[in-house]
Chains A and B, each alone.
Chain A
Amino acid sequence: MEGLERYRGIVQDFERFVEAMAAPLPVTARINTLKTDRDGLFCRLKEAKVAFWPFSWYPFGFSLDVEKPGNLIENLMGHIHVQEEISMASPIILAPKPGERVLDMCAAPGSKTTQIASIMENRGLLVANDPANNRVASLRSNCERAGAINVVVTRYDGRRFPSSKFDRILVDAPCTGQGMARKDFSVLGRWSLKRSLGLQRLQRGLLERATDLVKPGGTVVYSTCTFAPEENEAVVSWVLDQVPGVFLEDASIGGLEGSPGLLEWDGFRFGDEMERCVRYYPHQNDAGGFFVAKLIKE
């Protein structure tokens, strides 16, 4: 379990954490309410004799007992989107409303984009941005399968996204991905402090630009799927220091177990407001690892 030892002091039940990290992830999916509803989808799954278990904390998520969920006809129909449970948290905290202007700054491959489109009921504008040429094809394909008609795809470097104003922005930043180790174990071996610090520069630039682009009173959600404080609290607290008039709101979700953000790390104090961020560890919800912060612009 390379690179995890450094979290012994901050993760409660550290042994259970390490154990959970070694176990495979449950297969989970989200109901696409642009094309179906909960009753209709669950009825189809029952008739197809697919065993499933709705999440306790989110009515549109469920786990299912299928080896290849991508081969279900419900997936081809766009009634479900195969998506890791914990990654459904950040669009819920973003809480977009139908008709708003929303930016998903690092959108590929589009799991959270299509979840946002579904919460927006296909109305308003959702800009799905991603600079990576090789990832835009999967982003577009997922948006089409979801039936999202309110999405435009752009390919800017998020740090230089053109001036425009948004009600809400999701910055689901590129990260070292330690929280996805249950899906791809090799991420742990690739982690180094140098990589975290390299990404930190990019993450700070992306989040700072997002605070420029959001309207007064608007919401910016910052999320990563890594445990490294260098890429989480150290990014959020830096932006709060740089940008006046931005503050944190509670990012927790009822029924989903998480831990508060770190107030300090490695001798550096981030500030007491960091407890409004949420860290999710794999053993808490038998899911992936995740970090979410909710920033509000005055």
Chain B
Amino acid sequence: MSQSSLKNKSPFQPLDRAEVAGMMQSRFGIAPEAFESVSFYRRGRNVWAFSLPEIPDLGCESVGLRFMSVRGRVPKPTTTALQLFGRYATKNVVDLSSDRAEKFVAGEGQRLPAQVEDGYVVVTHRGDVIGCGQYLDGELISQIPKERRIGNDGACNGSSGGGCR
């Protein structure tokens, strides 16, 4: 297979950065400048974030980071995307105590009063992003992928309070 045929067959289609940044701004209040040096591509129902404006001329299995899924009614950011860019969020952020964070990383849902709109939220612990949650009718549902969850016997053993940021 020649290189040019690989390039032509690239399943990654470039997306308008402003469009993706706009979604992150309207939901999380993240300024578009946060994505200034990021290019976005779509493959299937996923949006990928990559460092370069062109995909290299190689047979690529993956390109950068899986950024969001556009499968559902509203786009759903990945936990790893929020871990990278969620620090710039100015709304729809839920900060958890250590006890609650432990439940969240175990994949458990929990009732929780929070000043956020229903939908996907940035979930933090001591100001650092843990990942993506879904807030619905007063309940926070963990969106941490199953294979990354930490069980209740895990070592998520921090004391509550304090702050490192």
Contact = CB atoms under 8 A, between A and B. Distances in A.
Interface stretch (A42-50, A55-63, A178-186, A259-267): A42-50
B63 A73 contact: no
B58 A162 contact: yes
Interface in A246-267: none
A147 interface: yes
A152 B49 CA distance: 11
B47 interface: no
Interface in B117-141: 125-126, 128-131
Nearest to A72: B155
Contact of A156 (B59, B148, B150): B59
Contacts of A162: 3, 57-58
A152 B56 contact: yes
Interface string A140-172: 110111011111111110000011100000000
A153 B59 CA distance: 9
Given A48-B159, A79-B128, A140 B62 contact: yes
A149 B112 CA distance: 33
A136 B148 contact: no
A34 B84 contact: yes
A150 B156 contact: no
Contact of A149 (B84, B147, B155): B84
B69 interface: no
B126 to A, nearest CB: 7
B: contact size bracket: 35 or more
A165 to B, nearest CB: 11
Nearest to B165: A40
A34 B20 CA distance: 21
Contact of B50 (A49, A76, A77, A149): A149
B64 A151 contact: yes
Interface string B53-70: 001111111111110000
Contacts of B24: none
B57 A47 contact: no
A149 B38 contact: yes
B61 to A, nearest CB: 4
B65 A144 contact: yes
B65 A149 contact: yes
Given A153-B60, A154-B58, A44 B164 contact: yes
B72 interface: no
B150 A73 contact: yes
A156 to B, nearest CB: 7
B126 A155 contact: no
Contact of B56 (A35, A47, A125): A125
Nearest to A144: B80
A156 B61 CA distance: 11
A164 B58 contact: yes
A70 B121 CA distance: 25
Given A49-B157, A124-B51, A77 B130 contact: yes
Contacts of B148: 76, 145
A78 interface: yes
B37 interface: yes
A251 B102 CA distance: 43
Contacts of A297: none
Contact of A71 (B58, B59, B155): B155
Given A72-B155, A76-B131, 20 more contacts: A43-B164, A44-B164, A47-B159, A48-B157, A68-B154, A71-B151, A71-B155, A73-B101, A73-B102, A73-B105, A73-B130, A76-B105, A79-B128, A143-B65, A149-B49, A150-B64, A154-B59, A154-B61, A155-B59, A164-B56
13 contacts: A36-B128, A44-B128, A71-B154, A76-B130, A77-B128, A77-B130, A145-B148, A149-B49, A149-B64, A152-B50, A152-B64, A153-B60, A154-B58
Interface of A: 34-36, 40, 43-44, 47-49, 66-69, 71-73, 76-79, 122-125, 127, 136, 140-141, 143-145, 147-156, 162-164
